[in-house]
Amino acid sequence: MGSGTTEEEIEFLETDLLLEAIFRKYGYDFRDYSKETLVRRIRQFLTDFSLDGFSVATGRVIREPSLFYSLLSYFSINVTSFFRDPAVYASLRKKVIPLLRTWPHFKIWDAGCATGEEAYSLAILLHEEGLLDRATIYATDLSQAAIETAKASVYPLGILRLGGKNYFEAGGKSSFTEYFRSDHHAGILDTRLRGQVTFARHNLAMDASFGEMQVVVCRNVLIYFNHELQNHVLEMFWESLENGGYLCLGDMETIAFTSVEDRFDIVDNQARIFKKRVR
């Protein structure tokens, strides 16, 4: 290796080797994730597990499945909250809900659902619009630990206080606390909402699409992928949606300059809501 190689370049190379080893050993493909993001997360993993460098981690991860699954949790993006970005939910209520009323039954895929706050926010929105009984919400995430937290639907009161503020700003029609019962320092979600959401582990980089969806929500996930993987995932979402179905992305994400740019119409550019064109 040339003497001019920087430490950062070495870390990027070692990350490539680690990701290739993970793909060959376990079948998980992170090779098209943003390298900058992964390097930061691997550094934290090395510190937390007292591992002396990337190469040491690679050797142990391919020999110790338990260590690999610990590393896997560092690759999952779990930053979320109830009614995060309230203006998005206000726009969904105003511009998408009226069309959902025209379907006797509809399906929503919440991809990258993390610990469930987004999926349950959608369930609350649909409940308030009298549509929850017509809906099936599929909520998926790479992290099994996040999925288990979502299924339990028990949230600290601090999370609920922030959620209540967002809910009000999103145009909530009731009291946010009505959807939870208190249990010491946490709130437990109402069972009528939990019953309409099906949680499952799903890897956007490798697994197949869900079919015949009316809405796909995937917010603040694509920003962690490189351009090729973004195109792959957007193609999957396009295939999953019925004609006239809706795609909702994060505020830093767009379909501009992607392979599906000419296959969607803009519903609300600020809220990043798009509608699949009828073929």
pLDDT of residue 31: 86
Task: Just give the CATH number of 86-276.
Answer: 3.40.50.150
pLDDT (mean) for 141-147: 88
**Residue 274's pLDDT band (boundaries 50, 70, 90)?**
very high
The CA-based angle 65-115-252, given to 5 degrees, is 105
CA distance 205 to 142: 10
Give the per-residue pLDDT at 78.
Answer: 65
Rg (CA), the chain: 20
Distance CA 180, CA 89 (A): 20
Share of the chain above pLDDT 90, in %: 70
Q: Name residues whose C-beta falls within 8 Å of residue 21's C-beta, 6 or more positions apart in sequence.
A: 58, 61, 62
Domain coordinates in residue numbering, the chain: 7-75, 86-276
4 pLDDT band (50/70/90 cuts)?
A: low
User: Over the stretch 199-222, which tens digit does the pLDDT of each residue have?
Assistant: 999 989 888 888 899 999 999 889
**Mean pLDDT, all residues of the chain:** 92
Query: Residue 110 in contact with residue 119, Cβ under 8 Å?
Result: yes
CA distance 132 to 105: 10
202 neighbors 158 (Cβ within 8 angstroms): no
3-state secondary structure the chain: CCCCCCHHHHHHHHHHHHHHHHHHHHCCCCCCECHHHHHHHHHHHHHHCCCCCHHHHHHHHHHCHHHHHHHHHHHCCCCCCCCCCHHHHHHHHHHHHHHHCCCCCEEEEEECCCCCHHHHHHHHHHHHCCCHHHEEEEEEECCHHHHHHHHHCEEEHHHHHHHHHHHHHCCCCCCHHHHEEEECCEEEECHHHHCCEEEEECCCCCCCCCCCEEEEEECCCHHHECHHHHHHHHHHHHHHEEEEEEEEECCCCCCCCCCCHHHEEEEECCCCEEEECCC
Cα atoms found within 13 Å of the Cα of residue 83, Cβ hemisphere only: 24
Distance, in Å, from the CA atom of 115 to the CA atom of 12, rounded to the nearest integer, reads 30
Q: How confident is the model at residue 184 (pLDDT cuts 50, 70, 90)?
A: confident
CB neighbours of 165 closer than 8 A, spacing ≥ 6?
Answer: none
Question: Positive or negative, the Cα torsion across 231, 147, 113, 279?
Answer: positive
The model's pLDDT over 49-97, given as tens digits with 9 standing for 90+, comes to 999 999 899 999 999 988 998 898 888 766 789 999 999 999 999 999 9
Which pLDDT tens digit goes with each residue over 37-50? 899 999 999 999 99
